[in-house]
């Protein structure tokens, strides 16, 4: 069973998932699967810059991977098109690197060889995406991959859900009146792990955790470190579905 909600055909959204330099090839299939029966396809930097997609999409999703290669290809016209699309009523869904990319400022691995500190152009969220939110990160392997225990605020009492975590951010600088609110927090730190807000007429969802990773897609060929997450992820799979239903309703 897919994570996505089985909406009727009339309710289907058209989703374009970024698939170009920097996108994790491990995460991409899970992101495509996450959208269930929606009309989902990949889009590269050239197509985003061309802009034809803007009149024929409801959601653009930027998956996990590395945000600097995203910026190299999308800075300027590409990012301008994404902002225009969202402001006009579209939705932006950023996961891990895509969440860093949607924030005003990125602070990654401060004081270490892989440090990245600076600003991105989209600036949907006026604060900073700071990471790794906890734990260790090694971009060459998945040996430090883990799961985060997220506390959800869904309006009917807090729920707990395990989501894959690998180097994602927490969100600092949420201010009253800036249009953003916290959907979930890391139990490990108490910092925001998933936030949502508005940009013009559109919607923005930023998630530091890899909420798209579905243990049902793991096979014998899946990275052995990732496979260790199967048990904790499956333990809260029903809550993960509830989380996704809420996010899809926002999108």
**Which helix H or strand E contains 146, and what residues bound it?**
strand 146-153
- From the list 140, 201, 204, 125, the residue with the least C-alpha distance to 170 is 125
**Nearest-angstrom CA–CA distance, 208 and 28:** 16
**Which helix H or strand E contains 185, and what residues bound it?**
strand 181-186
Average pLDDT over residues 126-138: 94
**Nearest-angstrom CA–CA distance, 105 and 117:** 8
Query: What is the predicted pLDDT for the residue at 4?
Result: 45
Provide the 10 A C-beta neighbour count for residue 141: 9
Query: What is the predicted pLDDT for the residue at 156?
Result: 67
DSSP 133: S
Domain boundaries, the chain: 9-250
Query: What is the predicted pLDDT for the residue at 5?
Result: 45
Question: What pLDDT, in 10s, does the model give residues 177-214?
Answer: 788 999 999 999 999 999 999 999 999 999 999 999 99
Higher-confidence position of 178 and 25: 25
The reported pTM is 0.94
Report domain 9-250's class: alpha beta
- 11 pLDDT above the threshold of 70: no
**Which helix H or strand E contains 237, and what residues bound it?**
helix 237-250
Mean pLDDT, the chain, as a whole number? 93
Widest pairwise Cα distance in the chain: 50
Query: What is the predicted pLDDT for the residue at 155?
Result: 66
Provide the 10 A C-beta neighbour count for residue 75: 13
User: CB-side exposure of 217: number of CA atoms within 13 Å?
Assistant: 16
**Model confidence at 175, in pLDDT bands (50, 70, 90)?**
confident
- 8 pLDDT above the threshold of 60: no
Query: What is the predicted pLDDT for the residue at 10?
Result: 40
- From the list 9, 70, 34, the residue with the least C-alpha distance to 205 is 34
User: What SS3 state is found at 165?
Assistant: strand
SS (H, E, C) 61-98: EECCECHHHHHHHHCCHHHHHHHHHHHCCCEEEEECHH
Pairing mode, if any, of strands 116-119 and 39-43? unpaired
Average pLDDT over residues 55-78: 97
Decide: 168 and 207 in contact? Cβ < 8 Å: yes
**Which helix H or strand E contains 37, and what residues bound it?**
none
What is the percentage of the chain residues whose pLDDT exceeds 90?
A: 86
């Amino acid at each position: 069973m897919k994570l996505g909600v089985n909406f009727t055909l009339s309710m289907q959204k058209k989703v374009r998932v970024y698939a170009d330099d920097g996108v994790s090839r491990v995460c991409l299939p899970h992101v495509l699967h996450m959208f269930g029966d929606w009309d989902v396809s990949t889009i590269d930097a050239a197509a985003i810059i061309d802009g034809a997609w803007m009149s024929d999409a409801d959601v653009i999703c930027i998956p996990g991977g590395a945000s600097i290669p995203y910026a190299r290809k999308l800075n300027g016209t590409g990012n301008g098109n994404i902002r225009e699309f969202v402001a006009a009523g579209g939705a932006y869904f950023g996961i891990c690197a895509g969440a860093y990319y949607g924030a005003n400022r990125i602070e990654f691995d401060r004081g270490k060889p892989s440090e990245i500190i600076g600003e991105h152009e989209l600036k949907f969220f006026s604060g900073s995406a700071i990471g790794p939110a906890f734990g260790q990160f090694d971009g060459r392997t998945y040996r430090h991959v883990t799961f985060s225990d997220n506390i959800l605020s869904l309006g009917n009492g807090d729920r707990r859900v395990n989501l894959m975590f690998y180097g994602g951010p927490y969100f600092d600088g949420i201010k009253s009146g800036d249009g953003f609110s916290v959907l979930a927090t890391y139990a490990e730190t108490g910092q925001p792990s998933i936030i949502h807000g508005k940009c013009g007429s559109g919607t923005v969802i930023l998630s530091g955790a890899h909420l798209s990773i579905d243990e049902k897609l793991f096979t014998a060929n899946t990275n052995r470190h990732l496979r260790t997450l199967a048990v904790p992820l499956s333990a809260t799979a029903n809550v993960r579905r509830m989380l996704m239903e809420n996010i899809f309703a926002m999108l």
